[in-house]
Structure 1
Amino acid sequence: MREEPRLRVAAFRPDDERLAAAVELLESLGADPVPDPMLAVEPADATPRTDADYVVLTSKTGVELAAEAGWSPNGATVCAIGDATAASLREAGYTVDVVPEEFSSTGLVERLEDEVAGARVEVARSDHGSAVLTDGLEAAGAYVHETILYRLVRPEGSGESAALAANGELDAALFTSSLTVRHFLAAAADQGIRTEAIEGLQAATVGAIGEPTKETAENAGISVDVVPERADFETLACEVVEGAAPTYHD
């Protein structure tokens, strides 16, 4: 009996426990992971302000950097975008006051817009944070300050998935932010295969973790097949692998 080929699925998470967890999850789903980190963290040696009424953390990385620096919210209402960020805050000993139902900048703005008029809101995140969050809070009447905790750069040597896509050998791709899309395309361009990689993704199942990521991909000519309602990696991976299952190669 001939063994069915395994789906080749690219994951672009940072090369730490997140990428290891992505590989483990994809293997458990019966896929062949292609770990191709498209993000690396460069700390900015900054900490969130301590005089705000609300403090917004948007990622596990940001929480870890704030905690390592000994940051204290000083009675501020602590807001987390997503369960992973909230869990990191609790693990570091912080109380989490607000987690929006929709794990996105838009979801947090909708959760806070009726209560932040005149309040000081500190947004602590990476250098690639969406303006949707800061603009939305300002439109709701808040005084918003943004602190860049870290920069996200493309690691050297990234791009294995782009070469596979260009050769028609990638079955699925899991884009977890607009920046992973841009870095994938930059890695492809460095190899002189940007057009071929985009064409290769047309035959693959492409997942995007939210609408902004989908928009970035589609503006670059990449068709997106899956955008899960719940914006987390496990849901994205499960839905993409399920959607890609009929596309096994002979």
Structure 2
Amino acid sequence: MREAPRLRVAFFRPDDERTEEAVELVESLGADPVPDPMLAVEPTDAAPRSDADYVVLTSKTGAELAAAADWDPDGATVCAIGDATAAALRAEGYAVDHVPAEFSSAGLVDSLGDAVDGARVEVARSDHGSAVLTDGLEAAGAYVHETVLYRLVRPESAGESTELAAAGDLDAALFTSSLTVEHFLAAADERGVRAAAIEGLDAATVGVIGEPTRETARAHGITVDVVPDRADFEALACAVVEDAAPTHHE
């Protein structure tokens, strides 16, 4: 029996250790990785405020930039969305007081509940953070301040995956945020292949992290096949490859 061709799987993480880890993971799953970084980090050199009752960090990048700015929580309750964020904070020497069971903005708001009523809450994150977090905390009675630690921009080199999708040469795509969806489509626009790329994604297996990313994809005409229960890249990659592999043949 002739061996089936390997799946070609695209992902869009920043061009740092996250891409290296993703390449190793996808290869370990028996697929061919197509790294196409759609996000680059531009630090603002800002630091989270130190006069809050609660401080929320939403990403590994944010945790590392807060540490680089010599941020001092000064007794605040430190909240991290996701295990990766919590691990990054601990690696920098910070104590993490709260990690919601659901790794999302809505999950954090729900888990804090009435505890933040009347409290000062600092949210430190990128310039593309969801309003679900800040609006939810304010609705819970918190006094919310947001600090932008970094901006997320699209690298000029991004776009190889859009051409593969347009040519029907992509078997799966892994979107980790709404912004990766938007940057993928912007790169496709620049190459004049947007419609063909979306058609190519429809023929592939598309996986996303979280409902907000699913809604963004759907709003742009992209059909989403997989949303893993656990909101992390490993769960996403495993679920997508498992979903795609049974139907992949010559």
Normalising by structure 1, report the TM-score.
0.99
Distance 2:60 2:32 in 1: 26
| CA displacement 1:95-126 (0-9 Å, x = unmatched) | 00000000000000001122001000000000
How do 1:48-67 residues align onto structure 2 when only pairs under 5 Å count?
48-67=48-67
> Residue 37 of structure 2 aligns to a residue in which SS?
coil
Kindly indicate whether residue 50 of structure 2 is the aligned counterpart of residue 39 of structure 1: no
Corresponding residue for residue 5 of structure 1? 5
How do 1:7-156 residues align onto structure 2 when only pairs under 5 Å count?
7-156=7-156
Give, in angstroms, the shift of residue 2 of structure 1.
2.4
| CA displacement 1:9-28 (0-9 Å, x = unmatched) | 00100000001000000000
Tell me which amino acid in the other structure corresponds to 2:11.
A
Corresponding residue for residue 247 of structure 2? 247
Distance 1:43 1:224 in 2: 32
> Residue 56 of structure 2 aligns to a residue in which SS?
strand
Corresponding residue for residue 162 of structure 2? 162
Distance 1:74 1:247 in 2: 54
Distance 1:67 1:198 in 2: 40
Distance 1:3 1:16 in 2: 33
Normalising by structure 2, report the TM-score.
0.99
Distance 1:154 1:85 in 2: 22
Corresponding residue for residue 230 of structure 1? 230
> Residue 97 of structure 2 aligns to a residue in which SS?
coil
Kept after mapping to 2: 8 A contact 1:51/1:74: yes
Give, in angstroms, the shift of residue 157 of structure 1.
1.0
| CA displacement 1:54-110 (0-9 Å, x = unmatched) | 000000000111101110100000000000000000000000000000000000000
Kept after mapping to 2: 8 A contact 1:109/1:137: yes
| CA displacement 1:196-226 (0-9 Å, x = unmatched) | 0001100100001000000000000000000
Corresponding residue for residue 213 of structure 2? 213
Q: When the two structures are aligned, how many residues end up with a matched partner? A: 250
Structure 1 vs Structure 2 CA RMSD: 0.7
> Residue 71 of structure 1 aligns to a residue in which SS?
coil
Give, in angstroms, the shift of residue 249 of structure 1.
4.0
> Residue 114 of structure 1 aligns to a residue in which SS?
helix
Q: Which runs of 5+ in 1 are unaligned?
A: none
Tell me which amino acid in the other structure corresponds to 1:136.
G
Give, in angstroms, the shift of residue 236 of structure 1.
0.4
Q: Which runs of 5+ in 2 are unaligned?
A: none
> Residue 149 of structure 2 aligns to a residue in which SS?
strand
Distance 2:223 2:246 in 1: 18
Tell me which amino acid in the other structure corresponds to 1:67.
A
Kindly indicate whether residue 152 of structure 2 is the aligned counterpart of residue 188 of structure 1: no
Kept after mapping to 2: 8 A contact 1:171/1:247: no
Tell me which amino acid in the other structure corresponds to 2:232.
D
Tell me which amino acid in the other structure corresponds to 1:199.
E
Tell me which amino acid in the other structure corresponds to 2:28.
S
